Amino acid sequence: MEYRNLGRSGLEVSVVGLGTNNFGGRIDEVATRSVIDACFDEGINFIDTADIYGNRGLSEEYIGRALKGRRDRALIATKFANAMGEGPMSRGGSRAYIMRAVEDSLRRLGTDYIDLYQMHTPDVRTPIEETLRTLDDLVRAGKVRYIGNSNFAGWQVADAHHTARAGYYVPFIAAQNAYSLLDRRIEGELVPAIEAFGLSLIPFSPLASGLLTGKYRRGEPGPAGARLSSGGMAQRMLTDRNFDVVEELQRFADERGHTLLELAFSWLASLPYVASVIAGATSPEQVAANAAAASWRLDADELAEVDRITARR
């Protein structure tokens, strides 16, 4: 397993991370432990969760119990700001809410510190200075080691960076956004911003909701129970345009003796601004497949060819 520094910090995260949105939903506590055991076997040290995962809290609880007695083997990233209940005091980036949210996450995780505390979504109602000052206090108190953002636009990353610098607050060191071979929208503004200000990218949805796994074929029904087998997301994702790209990417991977899934992971891992690729898993077998998938490094010519295949009209 390869490890990379997260932003301009000394925190080294595995290039493949574990996404835990399934914990407390699709899988129970026993299965959660088996997945985390498999992560340690594969050298994965970065576990990403959020307070809202698992029906508002179960993901954190399951992770905390699975890590009991071995907390030092994992780097835990969790998030705040999305609604954990009704009303304005159950979400956002205000000092009043953050101070309560971090204590709740610490309790559920069964730990006295969080390695990376991330703002899950921007809060247009609260000045970013208030949020950053509060997070700075948490770092100084030892309850949080580092801070990051998620779903921010490029200008919001820039605004947060300059606000932190002006106030001498601890800055964000990472940005977590959707990014894949089928969704490269962040390259226009966010990627230049994180490169300019020294943040690392933590991509989520690297497999484009499963379309980059190779399980779906044009004109054929998807696997039973799979995310894209039916519903609105299937209508958005299973388009002719996407299949045109996927089929060409499949040929590219086949010619080099790799799978489409390996291409999806390895393309991200070949980008210098990417620190850890967040991938969900519901079984030890999926953990092993994800860990192995990122071992390929595309050279400059291969990256250029992938750019050609995935270029937007």
What are 117's two structure tokens? 């505390």
Q: What share of the chain is helix, strand, coil (3-state, %, to 5)?
A: 45, 15, 35
* Paired sense of beta strands 3-5 and 12-14, if any: antiparallel
**Rounded-to-integer distance, Cα 222 and Cα 192, Å:** 36
Residue 199: DSSP 8-state: P
Q: Calculate Rg over the CA atoms of the chain.
A: 19
What are 219's two structure tokens? 């004109």
Helices 190-197 + 154-167 axis angle, to 10:
20
Q: Where are the alpha helices (DSSP H) in 67-223?
A: 95-109, 128-141, 154-167, 190-197
Helices 29-42 + 53-66 axis angle, to 10:
60
117: annotated active-site residue: no
| 310 contacts: CB under 8 Å, gap ≥ 6 | 181, 182, 184, 245, 249
**Rounded-to-integer distance, Cα 294 and Cα 206, Å:** 11
Say which of 53, 62, 169, 179 is annotated catalytic: 53
Q: Residue 279: helix, strand or coil by DSSP?
A: strand
Q: b/e map of 69-102 (b: 16 or more CB within 10 Å)?
A: eeeeebbbbbbbbbebeeeeeebbbbeebbeebb
**Rounded-to-integer distance, Cα 277 and Cα 262, Å:** 12
The set of catalytic residues is 53
